[in-house]
Each structure stands twice: as C-alpha cells, then as structure tokens.
C-alpha cells in the first residue's frame, strides 16, 4: 500500500516549550487516519507544519512522495484542509463561497458542478442561502465542500466536530466515511472525541505532550484478546485470592470497588462459571474494550482521573 504522508523525527519548539517532540508516523493511502490526543497534546501544531503554516524546528515531512520543503506548491494543490474551523463569508451564499474558493484555486467550475459538490456534503438545498443562516454543522460541511473544490487526494481535518450537537457530529462522521469509502480520499483527522474515532478510523496515532505513544491499525490496537474486564462480587478480597491461584491471575488489580484483569473476551463465560462454582456471588462482569479505555491507559489523562478520584 502506498504512503500519502511520511513524517520523520518532527520537532517544534516555541521558546522553552516543546510542542511536538521527535514525532514520526506514516499515513497509508485511502484510509481514515485518526490523530488523537488531549487538548494541548500537539495535534494542531503538527497539522500546521503539514500545511506549511509554521516551520518545524527539525525533522522532515513528505506528502504524496514529495518533500514539503522543495515541492510545497505541487503538494498543496493536491491537499484540502480545515484547521480548527472553516473561514467562510457569512453574507455570501453557499454557492458563492464555493465560487470564490474555486477562483482562488485557479479553477473555473460551472454552477452545476458546485451544486454537485454541495450535494456531496448534504447541503445542496441551501445552495442559495446566506451562510449567516447556517447552523455550525452546516458551516462545517460547507467548509469541507470548500476543501474539496479542487478534488484533492488528501484531506486534513482539525477537530471537525468541535462545537457540534449529536446530529451534527453524526453528519460529519457519515460524510468522512463517504469521502473515504465512496470517493477514495485519504483523510487525516485529528480529534479528542475518542468514540467517534473508533467508528471511522482505519489507523490511528495517539500523541501525548508532543510525543508519539502508539500508532497502528485500529483493529489490531483494539484486539478483543485484550479486553479489560471489571469484576464486582459480594466479597472482592476472597475473589482476588481465588483468581491469584487461577490462570486468570495476570494483570489482576483492585480498582475502587471492582477487580480488573485483561483477558480474551471469549474466556468471560468460563471465568464466570469458575467463580460461581467456587461459591463467589457475582454482582457484575463488565467488559470494557473501547478506544477511550485504550487511550486513558496510555496517556497522562489516566493519571489525572486517578488523582481526581483520590
């Protein structure tokens, strides 16, 4: 599979602050690539370097197999992006915004094609309405339409669902999936909404304090063979001693009023049977295996939660 983005040892320092620290990753062609981290982790700084809006302190960036330093114009002609939120002309209509963006991109498109672009993002029925009348979700979709105006190979979206209601988030999620699966676009999308990334991302990168924590296929990183199981019984101490003598002892720990261990989810029925046969009154067995659980186990967010609970 070809690679669309290749970042090597990327670093950005602002005086004493290192916003991005020796970051390396690759984005395969045709995927939705989730770029995850807490607010302030370095996501937007990285995206700004990808788009040449700021200059790296060190490291290299290759996009579409070309070095960004020497082929900036060629690369950016094939990239569409929204950083933080789309900048739109509020007193122009949706189609007028697209017309203006097309001219700025040096292309001349008939209104029919612009309407088709609005159809792609689901707002063709508001083509002649002024943007000031749009909801935030509609503005986001129009912003994506503007980013698509020159038919880019790569789309970079920085927190595209920020400030949206649940319906707006679902609309953007479905649009990203449509662009990836039906239009063949490679989409690099940053977010801190972990549940959304779990639904759309093929691969993901998690960063914390500017450093890479983990990168890989979502299906592999969220392997059901490593499900986190929370166990609550009427006598957790007795249960713990029993499990320490069993094959399920690895990683066993006490967290507040529950016991936790990692196992393959297909082992849960056997574990439940084992506890019952040993006269353990089981209150609940809760399998947790989500991107949020994985994220919190890898980043300093986990420490913050623990400190709060104490």
Rounded CA-CA distance 221/251 in Å is 18
On whether both 107 and 152 belong to a single domain, the answer is: yes
CATH code of the domain covering residue 173:
3.40.50.300
Domain extent at residue 246:
224-289
On whether both 229 and 248 belong to a single domain, the answer is: yes
Query: Quick check: is 310 in a domain?
Result: no
CATH code of the domain covering residue 240:
3.30.70.980
Note whether 222 and 294 are within 8 A (CB).
yes
On whether both 252 and 146 belong to a single domain, the answer is: no
Residue where one domain finishes, among candidates 193, 217, 241: 217
On whether both 243 and 209 belong to a single domain, the answer is: no
Sheet architecture: strand order including 79-82: 79-82, 154-158, 186-191, 32-36, 203-208, 211-217
142-199 tens-digit pLDDT:
999 999 999 999 999 998 888 888 888 888 899 999 999 999 999 999 987 777 888 8
Predicted pLDDT of residue 256: 73
Indicate the number of domains in the chain.
2
Paired residues of 217 in beta bridges: 203
Angle at alpha carbon of residue 269, lines to 267 and 272, rounded to 5°: 110
On whether both 202 and 237 belong to a single domain, the answer is: no
Rounded CA-CA distance 245/138 in Å is 58
DSSP the chain: --EEEEEEEEEEEETTEEEEEEEEEEEETT-EEEEE--TTSSHHHHHHHHTTSS--SEEEEEETTEETTTSHHHHHTTEEEE-SS----TTSBHHHHHHHHHHHTT----HHHHHHHHHHTT-GGGTTSBGGGS-HHHHHHHHHHHHTTT--SEEEEESTTTT--HHHHHHHHHHHHHHHHTT--EEEEEES-HHHHHHH-SEEEEEETTEEEEEEEHHHHT-GGGEEEEEEES-HHHHHHHHHTSTT-TT-EEETTEEEEEE-GGGHHHHHHHHHHTT--EEEEEEE-SHHHHHHHHSTHHHHHHHHH-
Please tell me whether the overall predicted TM-score, pTM, comes out greater than 0.75 for this model. yes
Query: Quick check: is 73 in a domain?
Result: yes
Query: Quick check: is 84 in a domain?
Result: yes
Pairing verdict, β 32-36 and 186-191? parallel
| Band of residue 292 on the pLDDT scale cut at 50, 70, 90 | low
On whether both 80 and 183 belong to a single domain, the answer is: yes
On whether both 115 and 187 belong to a single domain, the answer is: yes
Answer yes or no: is pLDDT of 304 > 50. Answer: no
Residue where one domain finishes, among candidates 190, 217, 244: 217
Residues 56-84: what's their mean pLDDT? 94
Note whether 232 and 280 are within 8 A (CB).
no
Which of 163-167, 222-226, 306-310 holds the top average pLDDT? 163-167
Query: Quick check: is 270 in a domain?
Result: yes
Query: Quick check: is 101 in a domain?
Result: yes
100-140 tens-digit pLDDT:
999 988 888 899 999 999 998 989 999 999 999 999 889 99
Answer yes or no: is pLDDT of 228 > 80. Answer: no
């Amino acid at each position: 599979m070809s690679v669309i983005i290749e970042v090597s040892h990327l670093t950005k320092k602002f005086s004493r602050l290192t916003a991005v620290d020796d970051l390396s990753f690759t984005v395969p062609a045709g995927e939705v690539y989730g770029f995850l981290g807490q607010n302030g982790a370095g996501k937007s700084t990285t995206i700004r370097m990808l788009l040449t809006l700021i200059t790296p302190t060190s490291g290299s960036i290759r996009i579409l197999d070309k070095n960004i330093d020497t082929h900036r114009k060629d690369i950016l002609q094939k990239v569409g992006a929204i950083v933080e939120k789309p900048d739109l002309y509020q007193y122009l209509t949706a189609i007028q915004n697209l017309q203006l963006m097309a001219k700025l991109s040096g292309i001349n498109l008939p209104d029919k094609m612009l309407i088709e672009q609005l159809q792609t993002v689901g707002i063709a029925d508001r083509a002649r309405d002024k943007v000031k009348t749009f909801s935030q979700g509609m503005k986001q979709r129009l912003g994506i339409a503007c980013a698509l105006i020159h038919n880019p190979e790569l789309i970079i979206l920085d927190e595209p669902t920020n400030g949206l209601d649940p319906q707006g988030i679902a609309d953007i999620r479905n649009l990203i999936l449509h662009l990836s699966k039906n239009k063949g676009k490679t989409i690099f999308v940053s977010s801190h909404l972990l549940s959304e990334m779990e639904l759309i991302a093929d691969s993901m990168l998690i960063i914390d304090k500017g450093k890479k924590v983990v990168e890989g296929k979502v299906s592999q990183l969220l392997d059901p063979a490593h499900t986190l199981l929370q166990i609550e019984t009427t006598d957790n101490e007795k249960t713990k001693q029993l499990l320490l003598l069993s094959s399920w002892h690895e990683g066993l720990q006490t967290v507040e009023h529950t016991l936790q261990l990692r196992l393959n989810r297909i082992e849960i029925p056997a574990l439940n049977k084992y506890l019952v046969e040993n006269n353990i009154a089981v209150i609940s067995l809760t399998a947790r295996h989500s991107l949020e659980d994985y994220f919190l186990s890898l980043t300093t967010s986990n420490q913050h939660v623990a400190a709060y609970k104490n």
